[in-house]
Amino acid sequence: MFPTASLTAFLLLAVSVAANPIVVRKPPVSLSFARHLNITGSYDLVAKDQARAKNFMAIGKAKQSGTLSSAAVVSVGVTNVAVVYQATVGVGSPATNYNLLIDTGSSNTWVGAGTTYVTTSTSVQTSDSVSVTYGSGSFSGTEFLDTVTIGSGLVIPGQSIGVASTSTGFTGFDGILGIGPTDLTVGTLSPNTGSSVPTVTDNLFSRGTITSNLVSVSFEPTTTTSVKNGELTFGGTDSTKFTGALTFIPITSTSPANLFWGINESIRYGASTSILSTTAGIVDTGTTLILIATDAFNRYTSATGAVLDATTGLLRITSAQFSSLQSLFFTTGGRSFELTANAQIWPRALNTFIGGTSGNIYLVVNDIGTPTGQGLDFINGYTFLERFYSVYDTSNHRVGLPLRHSPRRRAIDGDGWVR
Ligand SMILES: *[C@@H]1O[C@H](CO)[C@@H](O)[C@H](O)[C@H]1NC(C)=O
Ligand SMILES: *[C@@H]1O[C@H](CO)[C@@H](O)[C@H](O)[C@H]1NC(C)=O
């Protein structure tokens, strides 16, 4: 017989699954992608993440003051980030394949930085020019409508895409597949109509190819610098990539986090040490670390006993401190997401790659660079998201996360069940 507690848990689970009809067993629309670490030296990881955080805040300020279209920073973008995701996307018919960076921090899709855009009978030039300046790098050119092919045979006719005539900062890539919130495209076309450019996900939804306007992201954790094991699923979730029901967290109303995949969250270390009181921040695939407000970072530093490592810019702990490292709990959407001790450390096999020493133990929690109260006080970045499958649900204005670490991550680390 089941003890009463597990029976109750089972029933709750069954009810939650029934309430999440977007789960599909075989993802009809998925795109695999490769991940590469783009770190060029010591301290680079932290510097790139902090620059990205600063950019998010600058975009917020520009939006608030109504100067976004003229602001230098239009999109956070994928250039100069520490982790890049890359996928092959076809454009035209017959399709030419382009090697695109996947970006949740920007929303224009464009080609032409490397491989030249090949027009076919499906290519329609519009009268708009397009220009996006990223945190580092930029492109400008002409907006076209064309057929875009994603994954194995998912065809989107009439997708609005940029075709670069000039670009900087995209060596080795042809452009970007922008899957951030659509409003980030406002002001990128000229003449500027003030309207947004529908993303690939928007078009899949409006054409009825997918029944929910959402995209899900799976990362398989790895200890190598380049690996093709990511998966984007459009319109649903891939139930083979996570276990248990999803918790859905409403997009925060707090600005500027609400311009991105923003949520309210509090963070606790161990049973009772408060690190961050409930505040707004974002979930972001393009940030490598977990960044928290400076005061919260100081509390985490003293709670763990870590010291700041001058070479990497990361917190460092001893093996004895690692043995007693408590879990970090992220409370959001009424649930607590647990990062175990293993989940809080940088993969040791990659220590030297970030300028560190192979035997050292570095922590993935770092300083966002500003005190709490900015309306964007944390970023749950890649090191959080490789633990938890994530769903970016535009239709319902929410982010979905399962309570348990991904099965593959548990297999590597031996992490137990997460409550
Ligand atoms: C990698 O980082 C360098 C700077 O550190 C940047 O110039 C380059 O554009 C980045 N590459 C990609 C593909 O993001
Ligand atoms: C998030 O926090 C803000 C500020 O406390 C609050 O106004 C809001 O209701 C909270 N929830 C959401 C979904 O925004």
pLDDT tens-digit readout, 216-225: 998 876 666 6
Report strand pairing: 23-24 vs 237-238: parallel
Is residue 417 in a domain? no
Is 23's pLDDT higher than 90?
no
Q: What digits encode the pLDDT tens for the residues 31-87?
A: 888 878 777 777 788 988 998 899 889 888 877 776 554 434 456 666 667 778 888
Count how many Cα atoms sit within 13 Å of the Cα of residue 6 in the half-sphere of its side chain.
Answer: 3
What is the atom index within ligand 2 of the atom nearest the CA of 264? 1
Residue 284 annotated in active site? yes
Q: If you average pLDDT over residues 398-417, what whole number do you get?
A: 66
One domain, residues 47 and 186: yes
Percent of the chain exceeding pLDDT 90 equals 50
Same domain, 178 and 264: no
Residue type, 196: S
Residues lining ligand 2, CB < 6 A? Answer: 250, 252-254, 264, 280
Q: Tell whether 115 and 158 lie within a shared domain.
A: yes
Instruction: Check whether residue 400 and residue 367 sit in a common domain.
Output: yes
- pLDDT for 2 beyond 50: no
Identify the nearest ligand to the CA of 373 by its number.
Answer: 2
Rg of the chain's alpha carbons, rounded to an integer? 21
Q: What pLDDT does residue 65 have?
A: 73
Same domain, 302 and 402: yes
Location of structure tokens 């699954």: 17
Which residue has its alpha carbon closest to ligand 1 atom 9?
169
Residue 12: band (very low, low, confident or very high) from pLDDT cuts 50, 70, 90: very low
Q: What would the pLDDT profile of 179-216 be if each residue is shown by its tens digit?
A: 888 888 888 898 867 788 999 999 999 998 888 899 99
Query: How many angstroms does the Cα of residue 80 sit away from the middle of ligand 1?
Result: 4
Distance 69 CA to ligand 2 centre (A): 28
59 lies in a domain? Answer: yes
Q: In a mutational test of the pocket of ligand 2, which residue from 248, 254, 372, 398 has the highest number of ligand atoms less than 8 Å from its CB? A: 254
Examine the domain organization and report whether 13 and 162 are in the same domain: yes
Co-location of 283 and 331 in the same domain: yes
**pLDDT tens-digit series, residues 238-294:** 888 888 889 999 999 999 999 899 999 999 999 999 999 999 999 998 898 999 999
Between CA 78 and CA 110 the distance in angstroms is 13
Model confidence over 131-160: pLDDT tens digits?
Answer: 988 766 789 999 999 999 988 768 899 999
One domain for residues 210 and 342: no
Q: Is 326 inside a domain boundary?
A: yes
pLDDT, the chain, mean: 84
Range of the domain at 276: 240-411
Tell me the pLDDT tens digit for each residue of 95-128. 999 999 888 888 999 999 999 999 999 999 999 9
Would residue 234 count as lying in a domain?
no
**CB of 138 shorter than 6 A to ligand 1:** no
Atom of ligand 1 nearest to the CA of 173: 13
Residues of the chain with pLDDT > 70, as a percent, come to 83
Number of domains in the chain: 2
Q: How far apart are CA 84 and CA 223, in angstroms?
A: 15
Query: Are residues 190 and 286 part of one domain?
Result: no
Looking at the fold, whether 207 and 256 belong to one and the same domain comes out as no
Q: What is the pTM of this model?
A: 0.86
158 membership: H or E segment, kind and range: strand 154-168
Q: Which of 238, 284, 377, 415 is catalytic?
A: 284
Whether 42 and 150 share a structural domain: yes
Residue 209 lies in a domain: yes
- Residue 147 pLDDT: 97
Establish if 187 belongs to a structural domain: yes
CATH number at residue 282: 2.40.70.10
Per-residue buried b or exposed e for 152-166, using 16+ beta carbons within 10 Å of the residue's own CB: eebbbeebbbbbbee
Domain boundary among 198, 215, 232: 215
**Domain assignment of residue 336, yes or no:** yes
206 plus 304 within the same structural domain: no
Higher confidence at residue 90 or residue 84?
A: 90
212 Cα: distance to centroid of ligand 2 (angstroms): 25
CA of 158 to the centre of ligand 1 (A): 31
Judge whether 416 lies within some domain.
no
